[in-house]
Structure 1
Amino acid sequence: MQGTSTTTGALPRHVAIIMDGNGRWAKARGLPRTAGHRKGIEAVRRTVEAARELGIPYLTMFGFSSENWRRPEGEIFDLMQLLRFYLRSEIAELHKNGVRLRVIGDRSRLSADIVTMIEKAEELTSGNQALNLVIALSYGARQEIVGAARRIARDVLEGRLSPEDITEESFAANLLTRDIPDPDLLVRTSGEQRISNFLLWQSAYTELVFVDTLWPDFTKRDLEDAIREFNQRDRRYGAVGTR
């Protein structure tokens, strides 16, 4: 997509991003996949700063899926090392800039030291309001939905909830994103056009924008272009359109 360096129209309240293309970026340059992941961290930094500058309240980034655990052991090790590096090197800067960090996903599969770093980062930044940054790690939407159903079934079984009281709202209250608004805009990089088990419940009425840019090359301009595309959509939510 082409565009200018500024956006017009309403900003989405919540932007979600599937960061795809690190491996292809590295392969095109004859580099190991780890080089692409390292370059991808720079794109994360740029995008977080761009979202904060634009005034987007919520940004969710798909960092590591539940399916990614199937990758080669060496690549998983490198990704976890990069995660440790990010948590050590970026949290102070995020805190200084008023960014609140939250992590959603299955923490039981993460190393204890990573979980500790996540907990400390969440606690440190819990009062910040400039931007809510949500990182999805060891996350799968189907697993999240099953977990919510299991918690509701337990409440029914133990008499805390009747089946008649189960609503969309009560179900959503059992998801990992219970206090986070649904995304208005979901962006996927690298030209792939699928959402890969990411925020399935929450994206029921989300506008999807697919861009060809590989994630390590993603810039503020790409984000602005996606927002311009978003503002050209007629969001009807099942009603009659206005255009």
Structure 2
Amino acid sequence: MAFPVHVAFIMDGNGRWAKKRGLERIEGHRKGAEVADAASHWCADLGIRYVTLYAFSTENWRRPKEEVEFLFELMLLYISSKVGSMLEEGVRMRFMGRLNELPPELGDFVFQIENKTSMGKKLDVIVALNYGGRAEIVDAVNEILKIGKEQISEEDIAMNLYLPDVPEPDLIIRTSGEERLSNFLTWQSVYSELFFTGTLWPDFTKEEFHRAVDDYSKRKRRFGALD
């Protein structure tokens, strides 16, 4: 069975999950954080090396201020509580996005967590935070322009993405029934296999994750080549 090297998750449906239960949206995010942690462990158990979690997009700033502040606070508290276990389990946590635009406390926290976990060799957990696929490409091009290049190649852009050393995702899983990428890994996803499920993210289970990986293993990836 061929396992993916890099799995990315679009964790959609926290708010709808809470609404269905008569709860505040923040409770959906709280439960969603637990599932994100579990999903990282499911990947590690299969030997998957890279996991990317779409935590906060550049468009999410349009949400109510109170919800955005809660999301950031939840991230601070939840990740802080997991640092010890990440170090024990060989997890390296990394962040990608326009991190310089984050609130100072969160920006400092991101820097500290990356440093503390930098020696992790078993699993890279990548949190897409204040991330947009188009913004990443724009930022890459602007970096290239700084050195005065007149002709820009695909290789130039690839080397100037936020995390150029991370392989492109083999499998992208999106929950909640939406079937689009929503500005996620726009450059990197061109040959990714996609798996969509109607399950809301807080209800996403290990069994469904294994179904997605099993489905992936049965696909023939051609990358534009002939059959």
TM-score (norm 1): 0.91
1:4 alignment partner in structure 2: none
1:49 alignment partner in structure 2: 41
1:75 alignment partner in structure 2: 67
| Equivalent in 123, 134, 139 of residue 142 of structure 1 | 134
Q: Secondary structure at the match of 2:109?
A: helix
Paired AA for residue 123 in structure 1 = N
**C-alpha root-mean-square deviation of aligned residues, in Å?**
1.1
1:109 is displaced (CA, Å) by 2.4
Q: Secondary structure at the match of 1:155?
A: coil
2:217 alignment partner in structure 1: 231
CA shift digits 1:12-56 (9 cap, x unpaired): 010010000000100000001001000001101111111111110
2:208 alignment partner in structure 1: 222
CA shift digits 1:72-120 (9 cap, x unpaired): 1111111111111122111221111110000001112212121121111
Alignment size in residue pairs: 227
1:162 is displaced (CA, Å) by 4.9
| Equivalent in 167, 170, 181 of residue 153 of structure 2 | 167
Paired AA for residue 178 in structure 1 = P
Greater CA radius of gyration, 1 or 2?
1
1:59 alignment partner in structure 2: 51
Report the Cα distance in structure 2 between the residues aligned to 1:77 and 1:104, rounded to whole angstroms: 19
Does the CA-based 8 Å contact 1:64-1:139 persist in structure 2? yes
Report the Cα distance in structure 2 between the residues aligned to 1:105 and 1:171, rounded to whole angstroms: 15
Paired AA for residue 190 in structure 1 = S
Does the CA-based 8 Å contact 1:87-1:117 persist in structure 2? no
**Percent of aligned pairs sharing the same letter:** 46
1:177 is displaced (CA, Å) by 2.2
2:20 alignment partner in structure 1: 28
Q: Give the 4+ runs in structure 1 shifted more than 3 A.
A: none
Does the CA-based 8 Å contact 1:186-1:208 persist in structure 2? yes
Confirm or deny that 1:207 pairs with 2:202: no
| Equivalent in 76, 81, 84 of residue 76 of structure 2 | 84
Confirm or deny that 1:132 pairs with 2:124: yes
Report the Cα distance in structure 2 between the residues aligned to 1:220 and 1:232, rounded to whole angstroms: 19
Confirm or deny that 1:111 pairs with 2:97: no
Q: Secondary structure at the match of 2:127?
A: strand
TM-score (norm 2): 0.97
Does the CA-based 8 Å contact 1:87-1:118 persist in structure 2? no
Report the Cα distance in structure 2 between the residues aligned to 1:162 and 1:108, rounded to whole angstroms: 27
Report the Cα distance in structure 2 between the residues aligned to 1:225 and 1:150, rounded to whole angstroms: 40
Structure 1 gap ranges (5+): 1-8
1:155 alignment partner in structure 2: 147
Confirm or deny that 1:194 pairs with 2:186: no
1:234 is displaced (CA, Å) by 1.6
Larger deviation, residues 23-32 vs 113-122: 113-122
1:185 alignment partner in structure 2: 171
